[in-house]
Amino acid sequence: MRTYLIAAALVLIVATAAAQTAPPPVVAPIPAPVQASVERLQKAALASDAAYDIVEGLTTEIGPRLAGSEAEAKAREWAVAMLRRNGFQNVRIEPFTIPYWERKVERATVITSNSRQNLVVVALGGSPAANVEAEVARFASMAALTDAAPESVRGKIVFIDEPTIRTQDGAGYGAGVAKRGQCGTVAAAKGAAACIIRSVGTHSHRFAHQGGTSAPRPAPFAPSAAVSPPDADQLTRLLARGPVRVKLEIAVETRANAQSGNVVGEIVGRERPDEIILIGGHLDSWDQGTGAIDDGAGVAITTAAAKLIRDLPRRPRRTIRVVLFGAEETGVHGGAAYARDHTGELAKHVVAAESDFGAREIYRMRSRFGEGALPYARAIQRALAPLRINAGDNLANGGPDVSGLRPLGVPMVELSQNGWDYFDYHHTPDDTLDKIDRAELRQNVAAYATFVYLAAEMDWDFRKAADTPAPTAR
Amino acid sequence: MRTYLIAAALVLIVATAAAQTAPPPVVAPIPAPVQASVERLQKAALASDAAYDIVEGLTTEIGPRLAGSEAEAKAREWAVAMLRRNGFQNVRIEPFTIPYWERKVERATVITSNSRQNLVVVALGGSPAANVEAEVARFASMAALTDAAPESVRGKIVFIDEPTIRTQDGAGYGAGVAKRGQCGTVAAAKGAAACIIRSVGTHSHRFAHQGGTSAPRPAPFAPSAAVSPPDADQLTRLLARGPVRVKLEIAVETRANAQSGNVVGEIVGRERPDEIILIGGHLDSWDQGTGAIDDGAGVAITTAAAKLIRDLPRRPRRTIRVVLFGAEETGVHGGAAYARDHTGELAKHVVAAESDFGAREIYRMRSRFGEGALPYARAIQRALAPLRINAGDNLANGGPDVSGLRPLGVPMVELSQNGWDYFDYHHTPDDTLDKIDRAELRQNVAAYATFVYLAAEMDWDFRKAADTPAPTAR
């Protein structure tokens, strides 16, 4: 026992010594008045329901906001009025057009010798119409379908029963999106009649998960639908008993040029108004739910954070631009339109971050900066630490609508929401306001306000390469 | 510290002394060979998935089983085959007819100045058809509507926003059933156009809770629907902003005489075959889900328990009768038919218990015995204790299909499942097999096997009045 204690103490001493000899991480200094403003912002954010009121208003007054729909147009009007009411400047709609797709009917019926049973399904974004009845061929994964001989699926409805793994950071969504995007193309290439995928989702509720398909058009694409997790299990149990036929009906409405648009509002910087901190969320939603976590929350968090900074006694040096993107769900059209329309000023985009992963507590801040700018990331991370946020790596994605700016040189920040239950609700009828917790939403606003204020007030260059001299360590 | 310890010790000594002077509760003795069989049954039940296989089969092969439907008829055929396969005797269908009601269409659309939004609704059992558009009048409770002046609701759609309280024993269901049963009658009497109730349910998912209405016919009854909890919240938020109109469409199919029936199977007693231990569940289900917890579980638990007793080296003295009731959901028709058809032998019904509260762990055994029979209740409770089951009171209800036999003198037992999350799934599309936990289901079977075996093997008279001599204390 004594020997063990001595050994443990030695380990501790050696470890401590090692830590002391390693150079401390370089953290950019934050002047005391700026730090005071950060603390003031955090305190205000944690005491305010301004973000909740925004997402409550959007999801209640507009409800579902399918890309290109009349409801999305009303959401833009709503957003313009809301931004003006909150004192934003240069409030405007930046319009663009998109291919419109709306599901009108989707029905799947299992037909066995003993019973006809309805399956809870949703037509996947972009799916063509269908009215087929065929035998089901089950595959445990997308890869298994890819490997299958065409003869084994010709004329059948393929069923990809691949599960979604629950993770904090949403990594499990990858496999889900792969099957959602590819199934229709691979099925069509092998002569299958249609494709049904197990819903991308971590819950076991009777909701089917909506989402876009990513097939390159006009490649042949089989009618595609997602089935709820309990219905996928039911189908698998029925298949274990013998052949199963399914009747799948899908009706859709499509138009070539539907109106969409991004809604923009700014807090113009006091010294460098042409330098832009770009934040936002997306205004559109899938149409089964009211788009509370996806992405009324992102709209609310980023708008409320910018508004808190606007309410400071002095505006920050740089301009904060809030962009509420249109038509994200059906193909990141708003992000593409933004990149196209703002090519000329991208070099002046200091940093960009989109909040599009719900409203659970943020647990990590990641950057995507030049190596020489990591001391700035560390400074922001230190400022975020009182909000219970860890320092992350330098591999931030930035969010769907802004990540396209990354290859164009725009630095990214990711404030990672805890995604543990995000895919329990995401893209289902269950994405409604009650899934947002006020206290967690406030923490999100505090985190965004902290990051955005520091990025806008300090003269940090997040593009800074590694070989340029780093700032002095504290 | 010492003083405190001494005081605590004194309290303990006094308490122990008090316990020793109070007379011990009188518990009927169980002979050692019977106790050995109880232990054997419990061990076998806790090691067997027989009940799971039954509920898996019923919910998979038949799926939803609406009272009076073709699916319910197929469920009866399925049950007859299943009982025969499991060695039951006298397997038969006891037919009866019921008024048939099926929802065909239900749609509710909120119409405000800014948007049209769909609400997730379900037509309530027995509702007439509807096609109305009217302003909504909200009431926080059924009592508030009852108190309202007719002028305030005439021509309107009344909306009862009364919540369901989460409880372990299901007590919160009472208020829910009251509004579900009464709203249509009270609304019609006051001249309202229709009635929408907040779903009876403790979840916050976008499912509307199905269920029967209990209005006395042919009293005027307004078209009635339940709205999911998140949609009820949405309606309330919209109403806080101003008047809201709702368009409600309901289409139904009705028939006067649809076929239903109870399925019966027996383990005939070796000495007193005319004395009956009646257990069972109900075979029908609402049609949104596959009726796993309501009540495939009850069918499975009671059948599997009886089968385990059948597999003992020697059959018990009395007959065990398993009844899988038809048409419970639309008005306890199966229970009523049983009471009618078996009037002549009710005096020989030793005890009855229906399992119709899901499949979570049983935490309590209640009786409804003559006062002189409480030592038998205590003996059963002692035998159930190793399964983590508490002794309950003598106020058992017995379950919907058998409680009608109580006023006719039949003693009741209630093995209370933990209902904490029962109303998260009950009567919604989410009542599917994945909501059943195999380990908890096994505990249910062990509990039923214990109670049923003791009731069938011992010569206990559960009707025994208080003034008859009680058995000797141990």
State whether A433 and B230 contact (CB < 8 Å).
yes
| Closest-CA residue to B278 (of B289, B265, B287) | B265
Cα B261 to Cα A375, B3, B282, B328, B337, distances in angstroms: 76, 71, 10, 10, 8
Burial of A31 (0-12, 13-18, 19+ CB in 10 A): exposed
Alpha carbons A392 and A165: distance in angstroms, whole number? 22
Chain B residues within 8 A of A64 when measuring between CB atoms: 117
Query: Which residues make beta-bridge pairs with B107?
Result: B249
Q: Is B234 on the interface with A (CB under 8 A)?
A: yes
Secondary structure tally for chain B: helices H, strands E: 11, 14
Confidence at residue A7, expressed as pLDDT on a 0 to 100 scale: 52
* Among chain B residues, CA nearest to A290: B117
| Closest-CA residue to B156 (of B187, B127, B126) | B187
State whether A63 and B289 contact (CB < 8 Å).
no
Burial of A470 (0-12, 13-18, 19+ CB in 10 A): middle
SS3 content of chain B, % helix, strand, coil (to 5): 40, 25, 35
| Closest-CA residue to A119 (of A43, A50, A198) | A198
Alpha carbons A403 and A397: distance in angstroms, whole number? 6
A58 backbone dihedrals φ, ψ, rounded to 5°: -65, -45
Of A74, A112, A205, the CB nearest to B430: A205
Q: Is A63 on the interface with B (CB under 8 A)?
A: yes
State whether B433 and A233 contact (CB < 8 Å).
yes
Q: A27-83, pLDDT tens digit by residue?
A: 999 999 999 999 999 999 999 999 999 999 999 999 999 999 999 999 999 999 999
Query: Which residues make beta-bridge pairs with A325?
Result: A282
At A441 the three-state DSSP class reads: helix
- Smallest CA–CA distance, residue B419 to chain A, in Å, is 18
Alpha carbons A172 and A174: distance in angstroms, whole number? 5
Cα radius of gyration rounded to whole Å, chain A: 25
Q: What is the DSSP secondary structure assignment for residue A212, as one 8-state letter?
A: B
Chain A residues within 8 A of B60 when measuring between CB atoms: 234, 237-238, 241
- Smallest CA–CA distance, residue B429 to chain A, in Å, is 6
A114 backbone dihedrals φ, ψ, rounded to 5°: -95, -25
Q: Rounded to the nearest 5 degrees, what angle is found at the Cα of A175, between the Cα atoms of A390 and A215?
A: 125
Burial of A274 (0-12, 13-18, 19+ CB in 10 A): exposed
At B156 the three-state DSSP class reads: coil
Which residues, at least 6 apart from B83, have a Cβ–Cβ distance to it below 8 Å? B91, B263, B265, B303, B322
- Smallest CA–CA distance, residue B231 to chain A, in Å, is 9
Of B71, B204, B435, the CB nearest to A434: B204
Cα B244 to Cα B83, B106, B158, B234, B241, distances in angstroms: 54, 19, 12, 11, 9
Of A61, A74, A238, the CB nearest to B60: A238
Of A56, A74, A234, the CB nearest to B114: A74
Q: Do residues B81 and B61 lie in contact, with contact meaning Cβ atoms separated by under 8 Å?
A: no
Q: Is A461 on the interface with B (CB under 8 A)?
A: no
- Smallest CA–CA distance, residue A101 to chain B, in Å, is 18
Length of chain A as a residue count: 474
Confidence at residue B363, expressed as pLDDT on a 0 to 100 scale: 98
Instruction: Transcribe A129-191 into DSSP letters.
Output: PEEEEEEEEEESSHHHHHHS-GGGTTTSEEEE-------SSSTTHHHHHHHHHHHHHHHHHTT
Task: Please state, as a whole number, how many other Cβ atoms lie within 10 Å of the Cβ of residue A305.
Answer: 29
Place of tokens 């833009």: A76
| Closest-CA residue to B286 (of B122, B66, B120) | B66
- Smallest CA–CA distance, residue B230 to chain A, in Å, is 7
State whether B433 and A71 contact (CB < 8 Å).
no
Alpha carbons A14 and A16: distance in angstroms, whole number? 5
| Closest-CA residue to A238 (of B204, B59, B359) | B59
Q: Is B230 on the interface with A (CB under 8 A)?
A: yes
What mean pLDDT value characterizes chain A?
93
Q: Is A55 on the interface with B (CB under 8 A)?
A: no
* Among chain B residues, CA nearest to A59: B234
Cis peptide before A218 (omega within 30 of 0): yes
Residues 249-308 of B with CB under 8 A from A: 289-290
Confidence at residue B23, expressed as pLDDT on a 0 to 100 scale: 65
| Closest-CA residue to A126 (of A201, A208, A210, A232) | A210
Q: Is B430 on the interface with A (CB under 8 A)?
A: yes
State whether B237 and A62 contact (CB < 8 Å).
no
Cis peptide before B218 (omega within 30 of 0): yes
Alpha carbons B54 and B52: distance in angstroms, whole number? 5
State whether B63 and A241 contact (CB < 8 Å).
no
Place of tokens 């898996």: B56
Alpha carbons A279 and A90: distance in angstroms, whole number? 15
Confidence at residue A24, expressed as pLDDT on a 0 to 100 scale: 64
Q: Do residues A123 and A143 lie in contact, with contact meaning Cβ atoms separated by under 8 Å?
A: no
Please report the ipTM that was assigned to this predicted complex.
Answer: 0.89
Which residues, at least 6 apart from A149, have a Cβ–Cβ distance to it below 8 Å? none
Confidence of residue A474 (pLDDT cuts 50, 70, 90): very low
Alpha carbons A117 and B62: distance in angstroms, whole number? 8
Provide the number of CB pairs (under 8 Å) joining chain A to chain B.
93
Confidence at residue A466, expressed as pLDDT on a 0 to 100 scale: 86
State whether B233 and A433 contact (CB < 8 Å).
yes
Which two structure tokens, joined as six digits, stand for A211?
Answer: 């989402």
Q: Is A207 on the interface with B (CB under 8 A)?
A: yes
Confidence at residue B1, expressed as pLDDT on a 0 to 100 scale: 44
Chain A residues within 8 A of B56 when measuring between CB atoms: 237
Alpha carbons A83 and A322: distance in angstroms, whole number? 9
What average pLDDT does the segment A301-322 reach?
98
Task: Please state, as a whole number, how many other Cβ atoms lie within 10 Å of the Cβ of residue A385.
Answer: 11
Q: Do residues B213 and B224 lie in contact, with contact meaning Cβ atoms separated by under 8 Å?
A: yes
State whether B60 and A289 contact (CB < 8 Å).
no
pLDDT string in tens for chain B (474-residue length): 455 555 555 444 545 555 555 666 799 999 999 999 999 999 999 999 999 999 999 999 999 999 999 999 999 999 999 999 999 999 999 999 999 999 999 999 999 888 899 999 999 999 999 999 999 999 999 999 999 999 999 999 999 999 999 999 998 888 788 899 999 999 999 999 999 999 999 999 999 999 998 655 668 899 999 999 999 999 999 999 999 999 999 999 999 999 999 999 999 999 999 999 999 999 999 999 999 999 999 999 999 999 999 999 999 999 999 999 999 999 999 999 999 999 999 999 999 999 999 999 999 999 999 999 999 999 999 999 999 999 999 999 999 999 999 999 999 999 999 999 999 999 999 999 999 999 999 999 999 999 999 999 999 999 999 865 555 544
Of B56, B289, B430, the CB nearest to A237: B56
Which residues, at least 6 apart from B165, have a Cβ–Cβ distance to it below 8 Å? B171, B172, B175, B202
Which residue would you say has higher pLDDT here, B469 or A466?
A466
Q: Do residues A31 and A457 lie in contact, with contact meaning Cβ atoms separated by under 8 Å?
A: no
Chain A residues within 8 A of B114 when measuring between CB atoms: 61-62, 74, 78
Chain B residues within 8 A of A433 when measuring between CB atoms: 230, 233-234, 237
Alpha carbons A265 and B56: distance in angstroms, whole number? 56
- Smallest CA–CA distance, residue A57 to chain B, in Å, is 9
Alpha carbons A144 and B283: distance in angstroms, whole number? 39
Task: Please state, as a whole number, how many other Cβ atoms lie within 10 Å of the Cβ of residue B328.
Answer: 27
Confidence at residue B114, expressed as pLDDT on a 0 to 100 scale: 80
Q: Do residues B36 and B44 lie in contact, with contact meaning Cβ atoms separated by under 8 Å?
A: no
Q: Is A112 on the interface with B (CB under 8 A)?
A: yes
Alpha helices (H) along A194-330:
229-239, 297-310
State whether A207 and B206 contact (CB < 8 Å).
yes
Cis peptide before B295 (omega within 30 of 0): yes
Instruction: Transcribe A443-465 into DSSP letters.
Output: HHHHHHHHHHHHHHHS---TT--
Q: Do residues A440 and A297 lie in contact, with contact meaning Cβ atoms separated by under 8 Å?
A: no
Q: Is A113 on the interface with B (CB under 8 A)?
A: no
Task: Please state, as a whole number, how many other Cβ atoms lie within 10 Å of the Cβ of residue B444.
Answer: 28
Chain B residues within 8 A of A434 when measuring between CB atoms: 204, 229-230, 233
Q: Is B237 on the interface with A (CB under 8 A)?
A: yes
Q: Do residues A248 and A118 lie in contact, with contact meaning Cβ atoms separated by under 8 Å?
A: no
Q: A113-128, pLDDT tens digit by residue?
A: 888 999 999 999 999 9
> Which secondary structure element, helix H or strand E, spans residue A280, and what is its range?
strand A272-282
